[in-house]
Amino acid sequence: MSGKRALVVDDSKSARSFLSKLLEGHQLEVDSVETAEQAIDYLTRHRPDVIFMDHLMPGMDGFQAVQTIKTNPQTATIPILMYTSQEGELYLGQARALGALGVLPKQVGPADVRKVLQQLHLTTETAATVAPAAPVAPGADTVAATESPQNVTDTTVQAPAVPAPAPVILPGVDAETLREELTGLRRQVAGYIETQRERLVAELPHRLREALPPPPVPEPPKPDPLPWALAIAAGLAALLLGGLLWMERQHSGDLAAQLAAAASSAQAVAAQAARAQATPLAVASAGAAADGVQQLTVLPVPFGEAPLAGARVDRLRELVTQLAATGHSGTLEIRRFAGRFCLMGDRGSGYSLAQDGTAYDKCDLVADADTTGVTNVPAESLGFANLLVEARRSHPQLRIEVLVGGGDVPQPYPDAGAMPPPTAGQWNAVAAANNRVEVRWLPDA
């Protein structure tokens, strides 16, 4: 033995045996393991001169094992050859990129193994080494190539060709030796067959893919009507929403116009009342008063106040005095009207006007100002009662009648069912214009 050691890593027993026989024929000591994990464990205790690594193995494959060995400084310098049925320039490039020196095919022959070992300087044999010569004809000259490789030159003379001799039984060779040689030969043949089988199994999927007909071209998918339906539905929803927004703006415009008209009416009532208070009653002659009913004044009543009280009683006293002084006789009709207000509160704590921004449908109560329990103030004050007593005693030609409601309101209320509903401020502006006292003069005929 040369003292050189090789490690064969392969999960195939026949492949390990086949390569081990070839290596042992070149005076190498050979160790073999079945898996890459066993090879990593082996290298912790031994340092072989070369590693022959299979690629496809259970667990860690050959490439992973090569990468692990080359990244370990203790084993990085050991030469590694991939011993596999894989082939091709791409595979060779991948193996070398990981640190392997090259690829040794499993259908390797003795000459290939010898060449690899020579390149790694693991054998003393050279290409000029010649096997023992066959028997030759008598008298033929022969130069035997028995010298060491250092003494072999290109001038070696070959024996002249002769016909091959008939098979003979070599003396000194017994049947046991022949059986051992035949057993080794059978192992080599079995290893070769196993190698070819592994190669064919590895190539079978690729060959089958090449033999199969190309897959059918799928038909283009039919258009899905769902996106179109969703788009149409979204468009209709947008149109409907736009229509609703337009109607809401139109209604808001109409409501604003109504509120403006209500405000104008309330201002007109207030102006009329102011004029009636600022100027004396124009009753210059009895003839002018006898033409018919006269609207003398309209007195607005704030929410929460008694209609016939305070400044309104004073204004009525002025009218009675003026009519009596001018000699008029007839009926002074005093009619009070209650506005319908949007209120917040309850009977226990009382009611007050709702905040202007409150929606109409959020009011706790919508009721007339003279409804029992709403304002809790009497309709007529003590001062008005005294006025009635004085007028009847001092001016019997003047009759005073006190009436409640009747007739149309000056300003209609907003539409309570509108969307969006009116606000409390909008509603109560109209209610304030309708909450009033009207004074009329009905002269005697």
Beta bridge mates, 336: 404, 437
Domain ranges of the chain: 5-128+178-209, 257-443
CA distance 105 to 330: 140
pLDDT tens string 226-247: 887 888 988 898 888 888 887 8
Rounded to two decimals, the pTM is: 0.38
- Burial environment of residue 111 by CB neighbours within 10 A (0 to 12, 13 to 18, 19 or more): exposed
Q: Are 267 and 409 in contact (CB under 8 A)?
A: no
CA distance 226 to 221: 14
Residue 9 has phi, psi (to 5 degrees) of -115, 110
Give the CB-side neighbour count of residue 22, counting CA atoms within 13 A.
Answer: 25
DSSP output for 169-209: PPTT--HHHHHHHHHHHHHHHHHHHHHHHHHHHHHHHHHHH
Residue type at 290? Answer: A
Beta bridge mates, 441: 294, 332
Q: Are 5 and 29 in contact (CB under 8 A)?
A: yes
CA distance 40 to 348: 96
pLDDT tens string 147-195: 333 333 333 333 334 344 344 343 444 566 666 557 666 766 676 677 6
pLDDT tens string 43-71: 999 999 999 999 999 999 999 999 999 99
Give the residue carrying structure tokens 């897959």: 215
CA distance 259 to 254: 9
Q: What is the CATH superfamily name and number for domain 5-128+178-209?
A: Response regulator (3.40.50.2300)
Question: Which tokens is 297 given?
Answer: 């004044």
CA distance 99 to 72: 12
Per-residue pLDDT band for 224 (boundaries 50, 70, 90) equals confident
Neighbour order of strands in the sheet with 365-368 = 350-353, 340-346, 365-368
According to the per-residue pLDDT averaged within each range, which of 26-40, 128-142, 214-228, 288-302 is highest? 26-40
